């Protein structure tokens, strides 16, 4: 086995893992704060892919030809619209069920996922959609033999960097700002936070918006990387990202990133060196093992009885 | 509600329902069109519907079948086996169709055709190429296309003899059609004395095949064969090119759609991609007028459009000539007679396969168009 193949699979895994991690953040934050799985989150990511294509098309007609500018504008517009979707979904499908059984919002989330998927299908058609590639070229680490190289495309670099930066901004927001403090307080004890003057309904909305923004970033990056998408892309990726969140410890932000990386790397290495037929079987077996031996996930804290 | 009122209402509804069914059944020949009209493979469904619809319009204008007009009934299976079963049962029980055009995906045609066979309804698929479709001994199942073992043979011959490949990687999408095609390819590679360097499946619905591409590269494959559909073939070929794997990609009729180019992210990624598909029906002299009419209406009758048209023609011819709607009788008539279609004369063997299949190799170019390999 050659070192360059291992290096290349490492690159593949890290890129894939960054994307899973970005989407996993949305699952983990929502779970952390209201204890429900937002199964419509994968659809938010899919909507972001469509928004990317639409924004890029608009920018082209406006004659924007700087790739950097186009990327930044696309990120801004996609985050703005996707955040609006996140907020609306919470408002329509989850807030009215806030005081019902735990099962109701879960079912509502699955319903929302189907609604969004079919709404996009009807509005945009079920065909594959594509965007032109924005950035060409790559960095190559060439070994002794020019045939053997580890390659990182510029798009892949942008993906990993953007993922790191967005995660940084998010962690800073949660740890250092007043808004973040309110989020953490709500997560710890919603009733107590409310008694102390935190508008918890608003905080929950904010969490949905933040989660959706991360999914928006992932949607833009993936679309620019793979160049094509359809109304169905949210499903598989959503399930994988959800798995990453559980693997890392649902409720924990660094856990989501770690879970994403582990999932991405294990898929890449298993597909690359063993057999891609069974890569999902392998990835999900890891999940089962982790849950058996550490039910709260890798970085998750066991639930403490509040007194 | 009082009992007498309930009874009266039930009777009224019953009579009204019966009357409606009776009138429609008498007036029209009902033909089901079942295929992927939604979902990731809806592009193929559109080809099918366009073709079938055009055929119905023409036949109805010419007086219909046995003096009756034809009515098409759409059934959307989204290329999913369980939905196909629901569609098949609905077409048989509620819509009472007399014949079915479809389905498209082999994985849906196989379970659904058992429902039609049990009900004694003729089903002719325009695009399901898995050998098992006709190998199961069902009496009312025929097809208008070739078989994957023929397709795989043509593919293997091309890869070995024309491309001169020595190290072939065989990939598939783990689906009935895709894996069946890859298996056929693999089997014929072996008879040509070549063993594949890789044989693996990817997952439908995913977009990231980079790990697999790195593996292809490490295996030093000089040609890649993919059994599957355009939505996975597109990202696969793009990621191959991006990782510097510039070897030819060969596939089957699952990528014969302009959507393959969209899924690959542009024409320049599909250069050096080959596929097997029946000799272009758009070039057959019988279909010339029809193709011109489609183009006039702003629709390019690519892929399976004319196949679906020919299926309706064959069903209509069988009903007209045998004077029956019984599936077994219709199938037997078709197996003994030849039908003039827009794709030329077609005839079937005892299994329901075409007697002559005409797979040829096509090549995609950097403008995102395909043309027959000379």
Interface of B with A in 174-213 (CB under 8 A): 174, 200-203, 205-208, 210-212
Interface of A with B in 255-274 (CB under 8 A): 267-269, 271-273
Closest CA to B287 of B61, B124, B58, B66: B58
B244 touches chain A (CB under 8 A): yes
Cβ contacts (< 8 Å) between A132 and chain B: which residues?
Answer: 265-266
pLDDT digits (tens, 9 = 90+) for A2-31: 788 899 999 999 999 999 999 999 999 999
User: To the nearest whole percent, how much of chain B has pLDDT over 70?
Assistant: 93
- Three-class SS state of B368: coil
Examine residue A35 and state whether it is found in any structural domain, yes or no: yes
Chain B residue closest in CA terms to A235: B205
Q: How many CB atoms lie within 10 A of CB A216?
A: 32
Residue matched to tokens 């009138």: B23
Cβ contacts (< 8 Å) between A277 and chain B: which residues?
Answer: 174, 200-201
Examine residue A50 and state whether it is found in any structural domain, yes or no: yes
- Three-class SS state of B371: strand
Q: Is the separation of the CB atoms in A38 and A95 below 8 Å?
A: no
Chain B interface test: which of A3, A6, A52, A128 (most B C-beta within 10 Å)? A128
pLDDT digits (tens, 9 = 90+) for A209-221: 999 999 999 999 9
- What are the residues facing B35 on neighbouring strands? B76
Find the CB nearest A132 among B214, B244, B266.
B266
Residue matched to tokens 């949607």: A219
* A128 to chain B, closest Cα gap in Å: 6
pLDDT value of residue B17: 46
HSE-up (13 A, CA, CB side) for residue B204: 17
Parallel, antiparallel, or unpaired for β B99-102 and B28-35?
parallel
* A299 to chain B, closest Cα gap in Å: 27
* A142 to chain B, closest Cα gap in Å: 13
Chain A interface test: which of B211, B222, B237, B247 (most A C-beta within 10 Å)? B211
A196 Cβ contact partners less than 8 Å away, ≥ 6 residues apart: A185
* A99 to chain B, closest Cα gap in Å: 36
pLDDT value of residue B357: 82
A277 touches chain B (CB under 8 A): yes
Chain B residue closest in CA terms to A229: B263
Find the CB nearest A130 among B174, B205, B262.
B262
* B140 to chain A, closest Cα gap in Å: 32
User: What is A70-86 written as a DSSP string?
Assistant: HHHHHHHHHHHHHHHHH
ipTM of predicted complex: 0.89
Q: Is the separation of the CB atoms in B215 and B144 below 8 Å?
A: no
pLDDT digits (tens, 9 = 90+) for A35-87: 889 999 999 999 999 999 999 999 989 988 888 899 999 999 999 999 999 99
CATH number at B148-279+359-372? 3.40.50.2300
Confidence band, pLDDT 50/70/90 cuts, at residue A1: low
Examine residue A301 and state whether it is found in any structural domain, yes or no: no
Query: Can you count the helices (H) and strands (E) in chain A?
Result: 11, 4
B230 touches chain A (CB under 8 A): yes
**CATH number of the domain within which A185 lies:** 1.10.3470
- What are the residues facing B168 on neighbouring strands? B223
Q: How many CB atoms lie within 10 A of CB A100?
A: 10
Cβ contacts (< 8 Å) between B202 and chain A: which residues?
Answer: 276
Cβ contacts (< 8 Å) between A125 and chain B: which residues?
Answer: 42
CATH number at B3-146+282-346? 3.40.50.2300
Examine residue A165 and state whether it is found in any structural domain, yes or no: yes
B271 touches chain A (CB under 8 A): no
Cβ contacts (< 8 Å) between A136 and chain B: which residues?
Answer: none
Chain A residue closest in CA terms to B244: A151
* B226 to chain A, closest Cα gap in Å: 14
| Binary contact (A233, B38; C-beta < 8 A) | no
| Binary contact (A222, B202; C-beta < 8 A) | no
- The domain containing residue A138 runs over which residues? 3-145+156-293
* B63 to chain A, closest Cα gap in Å: 35
| Binary contact (B208, A226; C-beta < 8 A) | yes
How far from B261 is each of A5, A48, B211, B271, B294, CA to CA, in Å? 29, 22, 22, 10, 22
Dig out the tokens for A8 from the structure: 């290349």
A284 touches chain B (CB under 8 A): no
pLDDT digits (tens, 9 = 90+) for B148-206: 888 999 999 999 999 999 999 999 999 888 999 999 999 999 999 999 999 999 998 88
Q: How far apart are CA B55 and CA B337, in angstroms?
A: 20
Between helices A103-124 and A67-89, what is the axis angle to 10°?
A: 130
Examine residue A305 and state whether it is found in any structural domain, yes or no: no
| Binary contact (A230, B243; C-beta < 8 A) | no
Interface size, chain A vs chain B, as Cβ–Cβ contacts under 8 Å:
111
| Dihedral sign (CA A39, A45, A50, A55) | positive
Q: How far apart are CA B76 and CA A68, in angstroms?
A: 43
Nearest-5° angle of CA A85, CA B204, CA B191? 165
Q: In angstroms, what is the C-alpha Rg of chain A?
A: 20
pLDDT digits (tens, 9 = 90+) for A121-160: 889 877 788 888 888 888 888 777 777 788 899 999 999 9
Q: State the average pLDDT over residues A216-231.
A: 92
User: What is B112-153 written as a DSSP string?
Assistant: HHHHHHHHT-EEEESS---THHHHT--TTEEESS--HHHHHH
Closest CA to B374 of B166, B159, B162: B162
Closest CA to A27 of A246, A291, A182: A246
* A182 to chain B, closest Cα gap in Å: 38
Cβ contacts (< 8 Å) between A15 and chain B: which residues?
Answer: 210
| Dihedral sign (CA B190, B191, B194, B200) | negative
Dig out the tokens for A182 from the structure: 């309110």
| Binary contact (B203, A236; C-beta < 8 A) | yes
Q: How many CB atoms lie within 10 A of CB A64?
A: 14
Examine residue A200 and state whether it is found in any structural domain, yes or no: yes
> What single DSSP character describes residue A295?
T
Q: What is the pTM of this model?
A: 0.83
Dig out the tokens for B149 from the structure: 């073992």
Parallel, antiparallel, or unpaired for β B359-364 and B273-278?
antiparallel
| Binary contact (B218, A267; C-beta < 8 A) | no
| Binary contact (A227, B244; C-beta < 8 A) | no
Please count the structural domains in chain A.
Answer: 1
Domain residue extents for chain B: 3-146+282-346, 148-279+359-372
* Spans in chain B with pLDDT lower than 70: 1-26
Chain A residue closest in CA terms to B238: A226
The phi, psi pair for B155, rounded to 5°, reads: -60, -45
Q: How many CB atoms lie within 10 A of CB A214?
A: 31
Interface of A with B in 152-211 (CB under 8 A): 153
């Amino acid at each position: 086995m050659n070192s360059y193949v291992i290096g290349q699979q490492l690159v593949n895994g890290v890129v894939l893992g960054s994307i899973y991690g970005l989407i996993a953040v949305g699952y983990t934050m929502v779970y952390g704060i209201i204890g429900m799985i937002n199964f419509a989150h994968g659809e938010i990511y899919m909507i972001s892919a469509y928004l990317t294509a639409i924004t890029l098309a608009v920018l082209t007609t406006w004659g924007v030809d700087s790739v950097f500018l186009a990327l930044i504008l696309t990120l801004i517009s996609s985050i703005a619209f996707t955040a609006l979707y996140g907020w609306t979904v919470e408002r329509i499908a989850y807030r009215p069920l806030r005081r019902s059984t735990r099962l109701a919002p879960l079912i509502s989330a699955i319903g929302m996922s189907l609604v969004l998927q079919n709404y996009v299908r009807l509005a945009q058609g079920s065909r594959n959609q594509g965007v032109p590639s924005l950035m060409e070229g790559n960095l190559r680490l060439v070994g002794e033999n020019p045939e053997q190289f580890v390659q990182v495309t510029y798009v892949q670099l942008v993906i990993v960097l953007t993922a790191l930066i967005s995660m940084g901004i998010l962690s800073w927001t949660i740890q250092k700002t007043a808004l973040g403090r309110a989020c953490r307080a709500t997560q710890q004890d919603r009733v107590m936070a409310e008694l102390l003057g935190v508008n918890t309904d608003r905080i929950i909305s904010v969490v949905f918006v933040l989660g959706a923004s991360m999914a928006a970033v992932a949607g833009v990056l993936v679309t620019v990387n793979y160049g094509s998408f359809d109304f169905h892309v949210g499903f598989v990726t959503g399930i994988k990202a959800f798995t990453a969140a559980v693997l890392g410890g649902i409720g924990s932000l660094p856990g989501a990133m770690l879970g994403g990386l582990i999932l991405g790397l294990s898929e890449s290495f298993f597909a690359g060196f063993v057999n891609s037929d069974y890569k999902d079987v392998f990835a999900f077996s890891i999940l089962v093992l982790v849950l058996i031996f550490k039910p709260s996930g890798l970085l998750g804290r066991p639930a403490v009885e509040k007194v | 509600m009082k009992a007498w009122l309930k009874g009266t209402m039930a009777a009224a509804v019953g009579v009204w329902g019966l009357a409606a069914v009776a009138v429609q059944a008498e007036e029209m020949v009902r033909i089901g069109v079942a295929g992927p009209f939604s979902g990731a493979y809806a592009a193929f469904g559109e080809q099918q519907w366009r073709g079938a619809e055009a055929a119905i319009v023409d036949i109805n204008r010419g007086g219909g079948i046995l003096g009756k007009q034809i009515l098409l009934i759409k059934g959307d299976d989204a290329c999913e086996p369980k939905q196909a079963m629901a569609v098949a049962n609905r077409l048989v029980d509620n819509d009472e169709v007399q014949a079915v055009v479809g389905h498209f995906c082999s994985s849906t045609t196989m379970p659904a055709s058992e429902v039609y066979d049990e009900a004694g309804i003729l089903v002719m698929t325009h695009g399901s190429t898995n050998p098992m479709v006709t190998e199961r001994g069902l009496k009312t199942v025929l097809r208008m296309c070739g078989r994957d073992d023929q397709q795989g043979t043509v593919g293997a011959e091309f890869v070995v003899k024309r491309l001169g490949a020595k190290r072939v990687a065989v990939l598939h999408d783990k689906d009935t059609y895709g894996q069946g095609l890859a298996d056929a390819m693999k089997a014929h590679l072996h008879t040509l004395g070549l063993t594949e360097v890789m044989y693996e499946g990817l997952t439908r619905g995913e977009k990231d095949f980079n790990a697999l591409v790195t593996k292809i590269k490490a295996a030093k494959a000089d040609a890649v064969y993919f059994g599957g559909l355009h939505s996975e073939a597109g990202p696969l070929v793009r990621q191959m090119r991006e990782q510097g794997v510039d070897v030819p990609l060969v596939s089957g009729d699952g990528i014969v759609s302009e959507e393959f180019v969209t899924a690959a992210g542009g024409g320049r990624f599909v250069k050096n991609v080959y596929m097997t598909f029946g000799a272009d029906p758009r070039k057959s002299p019988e279909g010339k007028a029809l193709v011109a009419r489609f183009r006039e209406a702003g629709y390019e009758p690519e892929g399976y459009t004319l196949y679906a048209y020919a299926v309706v023609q064959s069903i209509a011819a069988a009903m007209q000539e045998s004077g029956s709607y019984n599936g077994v009788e219709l199938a037997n008539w078709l197996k003994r007679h030849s039908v003039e279609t827009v794709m030329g004369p077609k005839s079937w063997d005892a299994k329901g396969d075409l007697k002559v299949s005409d797979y040829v190799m096509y090549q995609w170019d950097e403008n995102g168009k395909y043309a027959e390999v000379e």
